[in-house]
Structure 1
Amino acid sequence: MLVAGVLDTLLAGVHRIVAPNPSVMTGPGTNTYLLGNKRITVLDPGPAIPVHIEAIEAGVAQLGGVIERIVTTHTHPDHSPGAAALQARFKVPVIGAEIADDGHQDTSFAPTHGLSHDDCFDVDGGVLRAIHTPGHVGNHFCFFHEPSGTMFTGDHIMQGSTVVIIPPAGDMADYIASLRLLLNYPLKFLAPGHGTLIETPVEEVEGLIAHRQSREDKVWAALKDVQRGDLDALVRVAYQDVDEAIHPIAKLSLWAHLLKLEKESSAKQDNGQWELIS
């Protein structure tokens, strides 16, 4: 069971603190990871909730370490706002990729350094490698901790739930390609931004790819069945296996699937009405 504010050691040099922000979108809360034991990298500082910032500081003190840097997987408001508070307190670099605000971003995020694919950081003598994984959002990065074989997945992969893709910053084709990219690494564990450590990483990634393909097939079938319809009409068919209370959120991923089909010249839209291209 995940308990907010408690320092949990998951693997050698890998520690987790859960933020007190549970919700439908965040599950049990956002995971902040402390990497290393003496020279600590804070990965996803989470929301700027004072008790969470205090828990991070207490966790670092419990380890007997010092914060060396702060890195972020992306700039959604449940992942990056805590960076400013920690940076002000400890005067350490904040590293992450920026993106134009689409109404869903942390507008307070002001990194001291940008982030590029394959950037590497020394974490207590081990390598932490940045992996650009657009899809959930264009500035999303996963981080591969080479000593433990752990991929920190942010919102690219969540334990126990699929990820919502919100266009235009989110892109379904990019998301699926980024899932496939993870299979190029010698994965032993997935450490998600929400939920518990995943110990069957390859099966999890392959299962998510299959799930997205299955959902795309259902979107295709819905277009064929409805023939011409808007998101409200299509979500009732393509997501009939999902609780109707979740349909407002499901419509966002449905939109992302439709845009993917449009880019592939398989579907088209006119004034919000979607149909297959025969």
Structure 2
Amino acid sequence: MEAGVLETLLPGVHRIVAPNPSVMTGPGTNTYLLGNKRITVLDPGPDMPEHIAAIEAGIAQLGGELERIVTTHTHPDHSPGAAALQARYPVGVFGAEILDDGYQDTSFAPTGSLAHDDCFDVDGSVLRAIYTPGHVGNHYCFIHEATGTVFTGDHIMQGSTVVIIPPAGDMADYIASLRLLLDYPLQYLAPGHGTLIDTPRQEVEHLIAHRQSREDKIYAALQQIKKGDLDELVVVAYQDVDASIHPIAKLSLSAHLLKLEKEMRAHQKDGQWELLA
């Protein structure tokens, strides 16, 4: 995956990788160009001049015209490029807004709302919105019905698990949203970071099992230490993870604990967590 290069993955499905690789973004954010003539940009990515130029070059290379911009969510590596494209093209921008929790793209200004099952015509193919809260409360996946490709944003990332950051992120919602995807005729998963996944059902089922396994470890950690804060629990519940990752792991740990609290299986007081009898 080379940043800035237009790659055709499937008929009418093209990808450009942004030059923003990191521990959190993998090789970089994937921007998808859908269609060949009337083009939809899905997740315009970061507002980096070289990436915006690569998107414009990709549209020109396809010989098409930009018709709309859609976003999976408003984290700063996925949506800020929309504002830069809006300044150049008089097209609609579709996505869901959310209150800023310190992690959102505050420049995002959609011209149209987005709701579950909304459909867009992409060169005669249907692009359908699927509401998938969990990673963040305004997250949507999209299925390109002609190819069975689900564009997963940060709901599913190739090669790594997704970080859930409360309160905008919700573990119970995340697992429910994973199960929802199994109701669709999946052929491919096109993640916001990483390569195309051609075993979609197996990947979704693996992620559900992984989250349940982590929840079991967290529950066992609470049984072992009886009462503890995040710093104490992460050492036990994430002992299979390198300690350098524990600061990030505590975010998902908190999301799992809040799920247990919602299910009335655990509770916390003054930052101390324990199981409910």
Normalising by structure 1, what TM-score?
0.99
1:148-195, CA deviations, whole angstroms, 9 ceiling, x for partnerless residues? 000000000000000000000000000000000000000000000000
Which secondary structure state, in structure 2, belongs to the residue aligned with residue 89 of structure 1?
coil
**Which residue of 1 is the match for residue 171 of structure 2?**
172
**Which residue of 2 is the match for residue 31 of structure 1?**
30
For residues 53 and 234 of structure 2, what CA distance do their matches in structure 1 show?
42
Letter paired with 1:138: G
Which secondary structure state, in structure 1, belongs to the residue aligned with residue 88 of structure 2?
helix
What displacement does 1:45 show? 0.1
Letter paired with 2:53: E
The list of structure 1 runs, each at least 4 consecutive aligned residues, that deviate by more than 2 angstroms after superposition, is none
Letter paired with 1:172: M
Is 2:245 the counterpart of 1:249?
A: no
**Which residue of 2 is the match for residue 216 of structure 1?**
215
1:63-95, CA deviations, whole angstroms, 9 ceiling, x for partnerless residues? 000100000000000000000000110111110
What displacement does 1:243 show? 1.0
**Which residue of 2 is the match for residue 43 of structure 1?**
42
For residues 230 and 104 of structure 1, what CA distance do their matches in structure 2 show?
24
**Which residue of 2 is the match for residue 181 of structure 1?**
180
**Which residue of 1 is the match for residue 156 of structure 2?**
157
**Which residue of 1 is the match for residue 96 of structure 2?**
97
Which secondary structure state, in structure 2, belongs to the residue aligned with residue 229 of structure 1?
coil
What displacement does 1:209 show? 0.2
**Which residue of 1 is the match for residue 132 of structure 2?**
133
**Which residue of 2 is the match for residue 274 of structure 1?**
273
Is 2:51 the counterpart of 1:52?
A: yes
1:225-255, CA deviations, whole angstroms, 9 ceiling, x for partnerless residues? 1111000000011111111111100000000
What displacement does 1:259 show? 0.2
For residues 243 and 259 of structure 1, what CA distance do their matches in structure 2 show?
23
For residues 29 and 222 of structure 1, what CA distance do their matches in structure 2 show?
35
Letter paired with 1:198: I
For residues 63 and 87 of structure 1, what CA distance do their matches in structure 2 show?
20
For residues 153 and 181 of structure 1, what CA distance do their matches in structure 2 show?
13
**Which residue of 2 is the match for residue 13 of structure 1?**
12
Letter paired with 2:21: P
1:112-141, CA deviations, whole angstroms, 9 ceiling, x for partnerless residues? 001000000000000000000000000000
Percent identical pairs in the alignment equals 81
Letter paired with 1:21: N
Which secondary structure state, in structure 2, belongs to the residue aligned with residue 90 of structure 1?
coil
**Which residue of 1 is the match for residue 237 of structure 2?**
238
For residues 164 and 180 of structure 1, what CA distance do their matches in structure 2 show?
18
For residues 86 and 38 of structure 1, what CA distance do their matches in structure 2 show?
17
For residues 248 and 6 of structure 1, what CA distance do their matches in structure 2 show?
34
> How is 1:66-77 mapped onto 2 (pairs within 5 angstroms)?
66-77=65-76
Which secondary structure state, in structure 2, belongs to the residue aligned with residue 85 of structure 1?
helix
For residues 221 and 28 of structure 1, what CA distance do their matches in structure 2 show?
35
For residues 134 and 42 of structure 2, what CA distance do their matches in structure 1 show?
20
Structure 1: unaligned runs, 5 residues or longer:
none
For residues 225 and 49 of structure 1, what CA distance do their matches in structure 2 show?
48
For residues 244 and 4 of structure 2, what CA distance do their matches in structure 1 show?
30
**Which residue of 2 is the match for residue 114 of structure 1?**
113
**CA RMSD, Structure 1 to Structure 2 (Å):** 0.4
For residues 241 and 81 of structure 1, what CA distance do their matches in structure 2 show?
35
**Which residue of 2 is the match for residue 205 of structure 1?**
204
